[in-house]
Structure 1
């Protein structure tokens, strides 16, 4: 064997909001199964696990005498790593644990010859304490599958705790090796609704060898001494706003319209219009407004009689659907919008085309001013409402 080196394996998971399951805010594994779960997908699906096969070989350093224990141990406890969004430099914590281990052991000569029987399966059963390697020693657990040839046996064990799982020989084995390393893993990922869009990456390195994180016992030396898992969490958020046809033309009127003024001469107290919109959102976002006519005071935008230059202020606020909260965790009801971006609004679940309302209002002072100075001409102004998912 050459000098021991390291092996790298990418673990990739994706979050995309699912309109059919708006409350399912989880990452989906996108790492192709290899090894055990590729061969036995039904077993892995039943236990919600994924497996990876690494090209790592563990060779015995000498013969194994009768009664020699081959003890396998894996990092079954949760370990933490930090993943970072390269664009925003935001960080999150991911946790991983190894939930299963498997390989194929290869003997220097057929098992049935080593124990002096003619039946191939019986040879594997008699060569080890507790029968063949499909039967995992405690605290590892049986996985239900195995495959053998005269001098090899493929196995996979579940690893609920981080401890040695030992099989003892009943006869001398001149030499053997474990060909490839299969492992199953489980992830704990952050809530993607609190993460910005983009790729979050980070790495976790395990040692391999007699005293390492992955160990096949004191007699077995791997041809790689480290395995590094490179995690990539891909967050692909949705932020989409639909305004009904004609919704971009906002006409401000008194309560009940202009008829009461025309009939009785009663002046309106305020002018307003509520405009609904449909929002789909899976991520934080802020809102702001831009004004064609900036009056230079307050939070509103101006509407102007272009001939006289007289102007009044329009205040804009927003009410967001249930499931979206403000920066203090409260429902969003008539939240004033300004030219400066608001604090972030945060979805608790994925919202798919839920209705919200933009409130446009001219208050009493400006309403009175506009009526006094009206010359039969309209007061106009463009107000742009911005939904921005690029939240710091």
Structure 2
């Protein structure tokens, strides 16, 4: 018996990344993620966001962002300007500084670049912030009972405060969290503002990624486009108008799977013997019920895979052993896999026949990353064919079988 093992690396690159390159009408941001199995934590089957984090999650509250499962991107490739004065103590939120963002979960289809397989990523916007400049000065945002700093460091409902605010008498940077499904968040000044504009754009996003163990190796790509402007996905009101009317998030999901099989030294040479050895036959003439050998192997797998059989000599749906006179008998080969590697219905794999047709071994699915766990290949010649071999007298039967573990489904 010879053994073939294949190491299949599935690079899951599915993330959101803002490497914003703005145009007159659109912003574009790349988001990247990858899955690499972790031997130290085999049950953690999740993508890791590899998009560079900037803004408040990088510099102000990294631990809080990690606990919330959000990431921030800050870009200077954005501008929005007030097209009219912002009146003091106005009552219509749309006439001043307001935000309504796509905080609900949205589906993004990502497609495998080679196979065309599709999966779904979900994304939502979980926070918003800017650098804003104001004339005559920042104190215009003060109103009875509130300093201008209090207006911006404490978020208006339904937004939530982060405590982040910095600025001087003409500008400030702020950032607020946005709960799922939140509506409008707004602020109005105590003094009429003659000029007001944003020169940065910062948002937090949260991701839900598919189960990488059910995905093929390679890259999955997709995108989602949000509209920007009055009554659009990113709505800044009727006075503050962004120069871009779209934001596109480009996703790249890389899956880096492992499939590795290790057979111990000498394990590729299989000697079939009766239960207890040949002594009962040689000394007492007791015919053996069967000839068999179990060969263990260690397997590491995070990907779906199939098993295939190739034969030097074919007999029916399996391999054959033959002696020097040309007499042949079939060799039955089956496999048992360790806990965590299952059939498509989730059941365990115990003595599953390996056939030339591939029936029954077209798909095995990991329930979690299996790292160097033992499995067994079972080789056997049954009673009827053992009797036929013994009737040939003292002869040696041999043959070659190749077992293949293949992640390329």
Q: Under TM normalisation by the shorter chain, which class is it? A: over 0.9
State yes or no: 1:25 paired with 2:45: yes
**Contact 1:18 1:24 survives alignment (8 Å):** yes
Partner of residue 270, structure 2? 250
Partner of residue 302, structure 2? 282
- The alpha-carbon deviation at position 46 of structure 1 amounts to 4.0
Q: TM-score of the superposition, structure 2-length normalised?
A: 0.89
- The verdict on how the C-alpha distance between 1:123 and 1:15 changes in structure 2, with shifts beyond 3 A counting, is farther
- The alpha-carbon deviation at position 188 of structure 1 amounts to 0.8
Q: TM-score of the superposition, structure 1-length normalised?
A: 0.92
- Partner Cα separation in structure 1 for residue 40 and residue 287 of structure 2: 50
- The alpha-carbon deviation at position 371 of structure 1 amounts to 1.0
For residue 259 of structure 1, the aligned residue among 271, 279, 297 is 279
- The verdict on how the C-alpha distance between 1:14 and 1:287 changes in structure 2, with shifts beyond 3 A counting, is same
Q: Give the structure, 1 or 2, with the largest relative contact order (CA under 8 Å, sep 6 or more).
A: 2
State yes or no: 1:108 paired with 2:135: yes
- The verdict on how the C-alpha distance between 1:3 and 1:97 changes in structure 2, with shifts beyond 3 A counting, is closer
- The verdict on how the C-alpha distance between 1:3 and 1:93 changes in structure 2, with shifts beyond 3 A counting, is closer
Show structure 1 runs of 5+ residues with no match.
116-120
**Contact 1:111 1:123 survives alignment (8 Å):** no
For residue 308 of structure 1, the aligned residue among 325, 339, 360 is 325
- The alpha-carbon deviation at position 3 of structure 1 amounts to 8.6
Partner of residue 10, structure 1? 30
- The alpha-carbon deviation at position 166 of structure 1 amounts to 1.1
Query: Could you list the per-position Cα deviations for residues 15-70 of structure 1 after superposition, in whole angstroms to 9, with x for gaps in the alignment?
Result: 01111111101110000012332322344234332111232111111111101342
Partner of residue 362, structure 2? 343
- The alpha-carbon deviation at position 294 of structure 1 amounts to 1.1
**Contact 1:282 1:350 survives alignment (8 Å):** yes
For residue 359 of structure 1, the aligned residue among 361, 378, 400 is 378
- The alpha-carbon deviation at position 312 of structure 1 amounts to 1.2
For residue 99 of structure 1, the aligned residue among 110, 126, 138 is 126
- Partner Cα separation in structure 2 for residue 145 and residue 3 of structure 1: 29
Which stretch of structure 1 is more off in the superposition, 310-319 or 53-62? Answer: 53-62
Partner of residue 58, structure 1? 80
For residue 87 of structure 1, the aligned residue among 114, 123, 139 is 114
- Partner Cα separation in structure 2 for residue 355 and residue 123 of structure 1: 72
- The alpha-carbon deviation at position 154 of structure 1 amounts to 0.7
Q: Which consecutive aligned stretches of 4+ in structure 1 deviate over 4 angstroms post-superposition?
A: 121-125
- Partner Cα separation in structure 2 for residue 338 and residue 87 of structure 1: 29
Partner of residue 325, structure 1? 342
Matched residue count: 378
- The alpha-carbon deviation at position 96 of structure 1 amounts to 0.5
- The alpha-carbon deviation at position 4 of structure 1 amounts to 4.2
Match of 1:367, SS state, is: helix
Match of 2:157, SS state, is: coil
State yes or no: 1:224 paired with 2:257: no
- Partner Cα separation in structure 2 for residue 365 and residue 25 of structure 1: 47
**Contact 1:6 1:227 survives alignment (8 Å):** yes
Match of 1:133, SS state, is: helix
Match of 1:272, SS state, is: strand
Match of 2:281, SS state, is: helix
State yes or no: 1:45 paired with 2:63: no
**Contact 1:239 1:389 survives alignment (8 Å):** yes
**Contact 2:336 2:352 survives alignment (8 Å):** yes
Partner of residue 241, structure 1? 261
For residue 291 of structure 1, the aligned residue among 293, 311, 318 is 311
- Partner Cα separation in structure 2 for residue 284 and residue 25 of structure 1: 14
**Contact 2:151 2:187 survives alignment (8 Å):** no
